[in-house]
Amino acid sequence: MRTAFLMTACFFVACTPSYTQTAQSPDDMLAEQEKLAVEQEKKSKEHATYADTSGDNTTASEQAAKYDAKSTDMEISRAVRSAVTCPGVSGEGPYGEAKVSITFINDGHVAADKTTVSEPFAGTANGDCVLRAMNAIITKNFVGQPVTKEVSVKLEAPAAAAATTKGKGKK
């Protein structure tokens, strides 16, 4: 019995944690995080691909303020892919190539009152659908004058679009 008690006592002593855990105050946690941030910054500067831009004349806010044509073109191409489906949605004409003028204002949105579509599409279901697709574009904010872009959207008759799609699937 004594041996069993001694074995049980040894088991509990051996299995208890040997460390003490203390709660950190918010100030201690903040100091530890700042220390880790400083160490991480030092390591990133030592890395071979680190680029020091301190000599650059443009600040980060100035870089962000410039009009981003690449991003805008990407958003326009997405809107054009949406707009080419308009004849299938409306089921009405006219069909052909629609010229759209889009004006972007500083907050990155399209100035809906300045967006226009060429004749004979203006005022039609297809033209209104194209304008909705173009007015939904949002790009990055920029500083300066509004920017106007001219875009072409090819609107095909639904039967012609279906025939084209069927032809691409068969090989």
**pLDDT tens-place string over residues 37-83:** 788 877 777 654 545 555 445 555 555 578 778 888 888 899 998 88
Query: Based on C-alpha coordinates, what's the Rg of the chain?
Result: 32
DSSP 147: E
**Residue 76 domain-assigned (yes or no):** yes
CA 129 to chain centre: 24
Q: Domain total for the chain?
A: 1
∠ CA 24-25-28, nearest 5°, is 80
Q: How many of the other CB atoms lie within 10 Å of CB of 41?
A: 10
How far apart CA 48 and CA 45 sit, in angstroms, is 8
CATH of the domain at 105: 3.30.2420
- Backbone angle region of 92, left / alpha / beta, with phi > 0 → left and psi within -120 to 50 → alpha: beta
**Residue 11 domain-assigned (yes or no):** no
**pLDDT tens-place string over residues 78-137:** 999 888 888 877 677 788 898 999 988 888 888 878 888 888 888 888 888 888 888 888
**pLDDT tens-place string over residues 153-167:** 888 887 654 455 454
**Residue 146 domain-assigned (yes or no):** yes
CB-facing half-sphere around the CA of 125: CA atoms within 13 A: 10
Domain interval for residue 81: 70-157
Q: How far is CA 74 from CA 42, 71, 128, in A?
A: 37, 5, 22
pLDDT: which is higher, 109 or 23: 109
Element (H, E) at 24: none
pLDDT-derived band at 17, boundaries 50, 70, 90: low
**Residue 81 domain-assigned (yes or no):** yes
At 25 the pLDDT is: 79
**Residue 117 domain-assigned (yes or no):** yes
